[in-house]
């Protein structure tokens, strides 16, 4: 035990842990959610000072595209996945995506992409090697918070390793049900229905309209669908199904796409 403790202490000195804080939601007894970002940043710096264990993230205030690109590349070279651009007057909007906050990740350096947190509602049997495992793709949905239901938005089969697929089937089989869950709206009929319990993070190129999915269909013939989906986080352990990306967020992202191309 003494030897193990010594090794841990040595490793702590070699690789000291640091918590990087990027925003301040409560300070001096006051809620800061609706204060502009500049005020929240000032409060964060005042609160943390020059601490090493808990420190504020680096920030750059600029309207220069060249400076933003330089800062982005600096962050990538330091091992980070990207940066977040924020309007200086923006409030803290929990769980919402707007033009006030724009995520720019490593993947975006080559082409614009985004991610969605989707609830897994079923899976399809695989082909070829995956046929042996009984799973080859997932049926995923986003959450309609107004109607408290899950509406499908993609069928995804890429992004997981062989081991990931085996682990995924074992996990999903624990939530498998005989019939389509009452809160799931789907055109597809997968080999196995799954009670909405697990959330997977999916990278995609863009949002399109599709008659094959029910997300945002609202009585019409076409819903929304993810183009070129790829799983990047098999299971989001920090989220429950109701924390998945919402139909409203998908509609907003779809509208943003069209604004960006006009």
Note whether 142 and 214 are within 8 A (CB): no
| CATH of segment(s) 2-109 | 3.30.470.30
According to DSSP, the β-strands at 30-31 and 26-27 are: antiparallel
For CATH 3.30.470.30, list the domain ranges present in the chain.
2-109
For CATH 2.40.50.140, list the domain ranges present in the chain.
114-261
Query: Which tokens in the block code for residue 106?
Result: 């490593």
In the chain the beta strands, taken as DSSP E runs, fall at 19-21, 26-27, 30-31, 54-56, 82-86, 101-105, 114-124, 137-144, 149-156, 176-177, 184-185, 192-194, 199-204, 206-210, 223-227, 230-233
Domain 114-261 CATH class label: mainly beta
Q: Going residue by residue through the chain (262 aa), what tens digit of pLDDT does each one get?
A: 555 655 667 767 777 788 889 999 999 899 999 999 999 999 999 988 877 788 888 899 988 877 888 888 788 777 777 888 899 999 998 776 677 888 777 655 544 468 999 999 999 997 777 777 889 999 999 999 999 999 999 999 999 988 999 999 999 999 999 999 999 999 999 999 999 999 999 999 889 999 999 999 987 789 999 988 999 999 999 999 999 999 999 999 888 876 654 4
Q: Which DSSP helix (H) or strand (E) runs through 251?
A: helix 247-261
**pTM for this one?**
0.61
């Amino acid at each position: 035990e003494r030897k193990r403790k010594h090794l841990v202490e040595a490793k702590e000195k070699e690789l000291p842990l640091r918590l990087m804080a990027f925003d301040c939601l409560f300070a001096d007894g006051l809620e800061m959610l609706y204060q502009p970002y500049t005020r929240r940043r000032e409060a964060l710096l005042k609160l943390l000072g020059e601490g090493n264990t808990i420190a504020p993230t680096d920030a750059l205030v600029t309207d220069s595209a060249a400076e933003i690109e330089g800062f982005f590349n600096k962050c990538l070279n330091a091992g980070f996945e990207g940066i977040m651009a924020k309007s200086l007057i923006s409030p803290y909007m929990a769980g919402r995506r707007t033009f006030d906050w724009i995520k720019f990740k490593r993947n975006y350096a080559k082409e614009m992409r985004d991610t969605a947190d989707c609830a897994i509602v079923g899976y399809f049997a695989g082909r070829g090697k995956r046929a042996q495992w009984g799973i080859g793709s997932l049926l995923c949905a986003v959450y309609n918070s107004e109607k408290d239901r899950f509406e499908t938005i993609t069928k995804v089969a890429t992004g997981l390793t062989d081991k990931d697929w085996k682990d995924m089937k074992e996990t999903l089989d624990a939530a498998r049900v005989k019939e389509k869950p009452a809160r799931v709206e789907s055109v597809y009929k997968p080999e196995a229905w799954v009670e909405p319990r697990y959330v997977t993070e999916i990278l995609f190129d863009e949002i399109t309209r599709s008659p094959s999915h029910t997300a945002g269909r609202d009585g019409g013939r076409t819903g929304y669908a993810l183009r070129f989906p790829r799983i990047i986080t098999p299971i989001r352990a920090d989220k429950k199904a109701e924390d998945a990306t919402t139909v409203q967020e998908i509609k907003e992202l779809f509208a943003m796409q069209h604004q960006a191309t006009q």
